[in-house]
Amino acid sequence: MAILEIKNLKKSFGKTEVLKDISFSMEKGEAVSIIGSSGSGKTTFLRCINFLEKADSGTILLNGNEIFNGENKHTMSSADIRKNQLNFGFVFQQFNLFPQYNVLENVTLAPRLLAKERPDFKTNKKAIYKEIEENALSLLEKAGLKEKINNYPCQLSGGQQQRVAIVRALALNPEIMLFDEPTSALDPELTNEVLNIIKDLVDKDMTMIIVTHEMNFAKNVSDRVVFMDDGYIVEEGSPDEIFTNPKSERLKEFLSNTKV
């Protein structure tokens, strides 16, 4: 069974139709790259998956359970939205770390707040907090950020900030990671340190969707590549099919304008 199944997703902003009719599904452990020119709807698609934007119509199923249906989008309770959102880890182009907290606090803030909703929180507070901190420290160490745990975001390079942002998302154990152009705001020399972390996750069979302009990354790391254009998924397939044997004219044109 597909871990994520999306049917006929549509989204407009005012009169601009951004997503025209998107159907998509993915298996557990798959890493899917979404490519396409700016304005093709890639980011909006990603944001609709975890409700940062509410689609106008269509359905989203996670492990076979409907977590979104355009028919009753107005009656969705904010508690349900919140609960479903936690199935996804989201990494932003602009990192969006919390500037007033140091690296460790950025990573532990959400797990600590969520722990308060656990029934055993009052009796186990200390142990729970300790576990959260140990988990954060081990994730930070794997991301090569052990030396930086007491630093504030403004003291870090863009690449380090984005690595913290990835760890922050991972700390909540999401089922699916969503990356929205994670390297687009970085200097070219810093992109690799972020891409390497994402590659590590791919190697560990983390399920993920990456919206990216890094064609080499899409080609070499992902299991499947989706090409979007003008609000539609125009073509999808293995990296090989997409990059060496594109079928649609639009994709051929896109690839000829992009250095691979």
Judged by beta carbon, residue 88 or residue 243, the one nearer other proteins is: 88
**Minimum distance, C-beta of residue 243 to other proteins, in the bound complex (Å):** 31
Compute the least distance from the CB of residue 149 to other proteins, in Å: 15
State the nearest-atom distance from the C-beta of 175 to other proteins, in Å.
Answer: 13
Cβ distance 244 to 55 under 8 Å? no
Residues forming the site for other proteins (CB under 8 A): 50, 52, 78, 82, 85-86, 88-90, 92, 94, 96-100, 109-110, 113-114, 152-154, 168-169, 172
Of the two residues 137 and 172, which places its CB atom closer to other proteins in the complex? Answer: 172
Q: How far is the CB of 177 from other proteins (least distance, A)?
A: 11
Q: Which is nearer to other proteins, 1 or 113 (CB)?
A: 113
Residues 6+ apart with CB under 8 A from 256: none
For other proteins, the closer CB: 2 or 110 = 110
* 149 and 102 Cβ atoms separated by less than 8 Å: yes
Q: How many C-beta atoms surround the C-beta of residue 147 within 10 A? A: 10
- Rounded Cα distance, 246 and 235, in Å: 8
Return the structure tokens found at 238: 């293995």
Strands (E), the chain: 4-13, 16-26, 31-35, 57-62, 65-69, 88-91, 176-180, 207-211, 224-229, 232-237
Question: CB-wise, 75 or 100, nearer to other proteins?
Answer: 100
Distance of closest approach, residue 50 Cβ to other proteins, in angstroms: 6
Nearer to other proteins, 45 or 227 (CB): 45
Cα 106 to Cα 97: distance, rounded to the nearest angstrom = 7
34 phi and psi angles, rounded to 5 deg:
-110, 125
- We find the least distance from the C-beta atom of residue 158 to other proteins, in angstroms, to be 14
